[in-house]
Amino acid sequence: MACALSVSITVSAWRGTPQIVGPATPAPASPSPHPQSAVATPSPAPNRGIIAVMRRDGVMVPFASFKGSRWSEPWPESTRFHDLPINADAVPVEWWGGEVPGPLTLHLPGGVSRPVAIRAPRVYRSFCQTRIGMVTDYRSDEPIPLPPPNPYPKDGLVLPAGMELLPIPTVSRLAPATAEFAKTLMPAFDKAEDDILRAIQESERWIHPVNAAQRHARPVTIEAWYRAPMDEPGWSASYVEAARTYGTGLVPGDSECGLETVFTGWVHTNTVDPKKSRWQIVARATYCDRNGVKYMLPLGQIHVAGQLYWVYQFSSFGDEWYEIARMTPLKMGFAVESYGGGMRGCATPGFGL
């Protein structure tokens, strides 16, 4: 049955008749005006450089490079076909995207930033895979977790000095706007769940023990809601993580871990005319252990070549990805999808180092 519950499906309204999504109201904890006012005029920024995450242990992991409006992923994914350079000067310039990086700034939570210096290359583990990172002079105020967990904690984002990092605010789960947002997305949640369960039934001959009418009557709880304005006036982008739970006892053997449907996806809201809003929702039928479900760690927004991008990590119990996405009213386009490591090819599960 675990196999039967490992399918996900995307329900999209990027094309065709737009779905109606209510305007996103700021959380009470954010007394500022509508989030559109948070858009800052892009300041002059470097026209090329690297983007990297900073691990809790001070190892910097580059995952993207840009030159003008062009993006690439030149840093090697693993040590399989690459030797560890003997020092920082020996790192091939191609790994940096064609130019050795200049001064770098580490951006930490809460708007804190500081210069960061590269020391030397180092092999580290991500899940069961060996990869190459760069030791830096960063020392976290948080304790180093032992044994190392998977995915490993990330403390911040490293950008070229002079590049501004804008926040991706989190709307409180307890805010009245969050409950209202869930209600407006209910038709999208219901359709996504119906479609995934239909696909499972066709491929695995498994039928959900709760019929459609009873499922639709159950609430969906938004567990995480990240929202930020787009460049285009009157538009905001959101990423939501939500769940509909069914409790235990519906399936033989699930006495300790009941059925759930997990929803994730993007919502582009027109704050002037909600009828123009669009969504793209993914549903996954699973159990309470949520095997295979990916969660977002928003790292911030950056301007590159005058365009605004979201930078974030997706991670699950089995892998992690670093992504950079351009948000526009009509679509969400990936600039970078960089594999950060996982359980691919692992003989047995193990801890990272």
Contacts of 31 (CB under 8 A, 6+ apart): none
What pLDDT is stored for residue 319 in this prediction?
A: 94
Q: Which of 254-283 are b and which e, b meaning 16 or more Cβ less than 10 Å from the residue's Cβ?
A: beeeebbbbbbbbbbbbbeebebbbbbbbb
Low-confidence ranges of the chain (pLDDT < 50): 1-40, 42-43, 350-353
- For the record, the structure tokens of 80 come out as 């399989």
What pLDDT is stored for residue 343 in this prediction?
A: 87
What pLDDT is stored for residue 204 in this prediction?
A: 94
The reported pTM is 0.84
Burial (CB < 10 A; 0-12, 13-18, 19+), residue 97, is: buried
Contacts of 154 (CB under 8 A, 6+ apart): 53, 54, 55, 56, 297, 299, 313
Contact 342, 294 (CB under 8 A): no
What pLDDT is stored for residue 347 in this prediction?
A: 64
Residue type, 86: I
What pLDDT is stored for residue 78 in this prediction?
A: 80
What pLDDT is stored for residue 348 in this prediction?
A: 56
Contacts of 92 (CB under 8 A, 6+ apart): 85
Render pLDDT for 223-247 as a digit per residue (tens, 0 to 9).
Answer: 999 999 999 999 999 999 999 999 8
Q: How high does pLDDT run on average in the chain?
A: 86
Contact 66, 97 (CB under 8 A): yes
Helix 186-204 with 176-184: angle, nearest 10 deg: 50
In this structure, the number of other CB atoms found within 10 A of the CB of residue 42 comes to: 17
What pLDDT is stored for residue 251 in this prediction?
A: 83
Length of the chain: 353
Parse the chain into domains and list their residue ranges: 8-39+168-293, 48-160
What pLDDT is stored for residue 250 in this prediction?
A: 87
